[in-house]
Amino acid sequence: MPRWKPDARARLQEAALALFDEWGFDHTSVEEIADRAGLTKRTFFRHFSDKREVLFGGGDKADEPFVTSVRAAPAAAGALDAVSYGLNALAARFDEEGEQAARRFRIVRASPQLWERQLIKFASLAEAVARALRGRGVGDPAAILAAESGITTLRVASDRWVADTKTKPLRQLVAEALVELRAVASEGPRATEPRGGMPTSPGAPTTGRSGDC
């Protein structure tokens, strides 16, 4: 299919992802990436500080649409509901980018070193989302619980999406994972106490003995 002629940065990115996919991240050198792109190592280092930056280079900018959408969610939206607006905004971006975003995820998932870096990024995203929720008047621990639950949802949906980007858009998988999360949380003994209430005595198991749902 016809394509616009990509600039050096995009060519390097494409070459890097192709090689990471083929040989694995650890077994790909900057020199090989530059070679594949038909460019020099020097050009590579003009665009990226190292090969990891090809994958994480968007930095925290990728988080912005998430946090902005949480802040902009309707005033009446609950904590997790507000988070779902953020999830939706982020997923929409990945859907737009399509297969290249999925490939990046797959490469990161396949390397323990990269996956650790990703876990740290997820944790800092959760903190940013929790801050946005507090700005909406959500208290703690609801803010951090809703933010972390949102990230969990995103991870589960992403795992499904990268395995098959064709059948369902990430946005839809995120919506489905959120429904699943609500189902998981509402199963078994449910909270009837007010927030912060004491459900069980310290000595008792956290919840009732039988799945009395």
Alpha helices in 38-189 (DSSP H): 41-47, 52-56, 64-72, 79-97, 99-110, 112-135, 142-163, 170-186
The reply to whether 46 sits near a copy of itself by the rule CB under 8 A is no
Following DSSP, what letter does each residue of 110-141 receive, concatenated? H-HHHHHHHHHHHHHHHHHHHHHHHHTT--TT
Binding positions for a copy of itself, 68-97, rule CB under 8 A: 74, 76-81, 84-85, 87-88
Stretch that binds a copy of itself, among 23-31, 36-44, 47-55, 186-194 (CB under 8 A): 186-194
Comparing CB distances to a copy of itself, the nearer of 57 and 78 is 78
- Half-sphere exposure for 124 (CA within 13 Å, toward CB): 11
Give CA 129 to chain center in angstroms. 12
169 binds a copy of itself (CB under 8 A): yes
Q: Which residues would be at the binding site for a copy of itself (CB under 8 A)?
A: 74, 76-81, 84-85, 87-88, 116, 119-120, 123, 141-142, 144-146, 148-149, 152-153, 155-156, 160, 168-169, 171-172, 174-191, 193, 195-200, 202-203, 205-213
